[in-house]
Amino acid sequence: MFRPGEYLDHISERVEPWSYTKFTYLKEVGWKGFIDGPDSGIYRVAPLARLNVSEGMATPLAQAEYEKMYSTLGGKPLHNTLAFHWARLIEVLYAAERLQELAMDKSITDTNVRNIPTATPTEGIGVVEAPRGTLIHHYKSDEKGLLTEVNLIVATVNNAAAICMSVDKAAKNLIRNGEVSDSLLNMVEMAFRAYDPCFACATHLIADDNSLGINVYNAKGDIIKTLGRK
């Protein structure tokens, strides 16, 4: 754990020539490439990560499902990518229970709901846990309050390296003896959609070409098949 203002002491960003997405990693461990295991600097955020580091849920029904998930899947920490779905459902259940608690809290109608700024800020850093994962926002401004520097590390960027690895593993495990079925694309989609349900919509575009595609290469680096779906 670290304070929001210390995020640059713990997280670094890397650029790869084949992607416009930055890849984050733990600065203390360093960049070791797209590998997993204890020596990897790659990390993951979002529901499963939150539940892995938590001591439990704050509402009874969510707590019961929390215990069920870990007893069923073998205890902490869980690294199975598809377990993100189960963890997300537990958080949704918690949110519903907590919403009911807040609706019964009289302080929710308190008129003191906004703090008016009394000075022009020069720098602000915020870190928040959203449904999609950890969001880091860093802003600097001048004497007029105009932004001069902005750095955002959103949930998808935090997970970007892990997503690439999940897609790579899914494709390699599905292809056997050079046989590639047309259902491969759907199976590979399962690997990255688990990280964020928004991907289910974000990967479909209204366009003339395929919104999502995959090139299958052989050991020589030649494309042997291309799959896609409009």
Per-residue pLDDT of the chain (230 residues; tens, 9 = 90+): 789 999 999 999 999 998 999 999 999 999 999 999 989 999 999 999 999 999 999 999 999 999 999 999 999 999 999 999 999 999 999 999 999 999 999 888 888 888 888 888 899 999 999 999 999 999 999 998 899 999 999 999 999 999 999 998 988 888 776 677 767 777 888 888 899 877 766 655 555 554 566 777 888 888 887 776 55
| DSSP one-letter code for 82 | T
Centroid of chain to Cα 53: 15
- Boundaries of domain holding 69: 4-109
Residue partners of 120: CB distance under 8 A and separation at least 6: 141, 143, 144, 145
* pLDDT for res 103: 93
| 225 part of a folded domain | no
- 47 inside domain: yes
User: What angle separates helix 155-174 from helix 184-193, to the nearest 10 degrees?
Assistant: 150
Examine residue 183 and state whether it is found in any structural domain, yes or no: no
Q: What is the DSSP string of 114-173?
A: -PPP-S--SEEEEEEEETTEEEEEEEEE-TTS-EEEEEEE-HHHHHHHHHHHHHHHHHHH
Q: Which amino acid belongs to residue 78? A: L
Number of domains observed in the structure of the chain = 1
3-state helix, strand, coil in the chain (%, to 5): 40, 20, 40
Q: Residue 202's pLDDT is what? A: 62
Q: Quote the pLDDT of residue 83.
A: 96
User: Would you state the structure tokens that stand for residue 127, as one six-digit string?
Assistant: 């870190």
Assigned domain for 198 exists: no
In a domain, 56, yes or no: yes
The answer to whether position 25 is within a domain reads yes
Say if 182 falls within a structural domain: no
- pLDDT reported for residue 172: 84
Q: Determine the residue type at 102.
A: L
| 13 in any annotated domain | yes
